[in-house]
């Protein structure tokens, strides 16, 4: 999440082409953990490589499965705070690898994350899809806001 005193918090996301689906996806920056690297270190490295942002790890989820009926792969979600006032977060320079030719960085306001994702998905349909983990996160935030307003 990018925080800046003059703006509401924004979520850092990437859009990239995924050959398996033949579509672009909106998702969190992500990648594999290198040998002798911790989860937090990998998250900060991937954030820098894919988006140019630098930040501080706030929390790390326990290992989770994505498709336990189809794959043994696991992932962790790492919450990172990006201080938008730091000079290194003003002029971003990503360090993308050759296979990340399609990767683009976007930020969406946290307050309207679900609406922003739905708007982008609808506008670029059928060429763009939203990663399920990201969608569920955004839907959970929206449900929480609705619940608070009701009480």
Report the first-to-last Cα separation within the chain, whole angstroms: 27
* Predicted pLDDT at 150: 79
Give pLDDT tens digits for 103-142. Answer: 899 999 999 999 999 999 999 989 999 999 999 999 999 9
Asked whether 129 and 135 are in contact (CB, 8 A), the reply is no
Confidence at 95, pLDDT banded by 50, 70, 90: confident
CA pair distance 36, 52, nearest whole angstrom: 23
pLDDT(5) > 90: no
* Predicted pLDDT at 99: 66
* Angle at alpha carbon of residue 2, lines to 103 and 55, rounded to 5°: 80
Pick the CATH number of 2-109 from 3.90.79.10, 3.50.50.60, 3.20.20.70, 1.10.3720.10: 3.90.79.10
* Angle at alpha carbon of residue 105, lines to 99 and 110, rounded to 5°: 140
Average pLDDT taken over every residue of the chain? 91
List the domain boundaries for the chain.
2-109
Confidence at 70, pLDDT banded by 50, 70, 90: very high
* Predicted pLDDT at 81: 95
Is pTM beyond 0.85 here?
yes
CA pair distance 95, 13, nearest whole angstrom: 16
Give pLDDT tens digits for 25-66. Answer: 999 999 999 999 999 999 999 999 999 999 999 999 999 998
Percent of the chain with pLDDT over 70: 96
CA pair distance 64, 74, nearest whole angstrom: 5
């Amino acid at each position: 999440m990018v925080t800046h005193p003059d703006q509401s918090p924004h979520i850092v996301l990437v859009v990239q082409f995924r050959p398996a689906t033949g579509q672009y996806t909106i998702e969190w920056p992500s990648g594999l953990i290198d040998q002798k690297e911790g989860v937090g270190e990998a998250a900060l490295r991937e954030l820098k490589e894919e988006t140019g942002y630098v930040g501080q790890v706030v929390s790390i989820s326990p290992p989770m499965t994505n498709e336990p009926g189809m794959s043994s792969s696991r992932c962790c979600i790492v919450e990172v705070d990006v201080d938008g006032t730091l000079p290194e977060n003003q002029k971003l320079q990503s360090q993308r690898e050759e296979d990340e030719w399609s990767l683009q960085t976007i930020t969406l306001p946290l307050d309207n994350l679900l609406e922003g994702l739905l708007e982008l998905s609808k506008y670029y349909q059928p060429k763009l899809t939203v990663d399920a983990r990201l969608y569920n996160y955004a839907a959970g935030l929206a449900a929480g806001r609705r619940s608070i307003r009701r009480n």
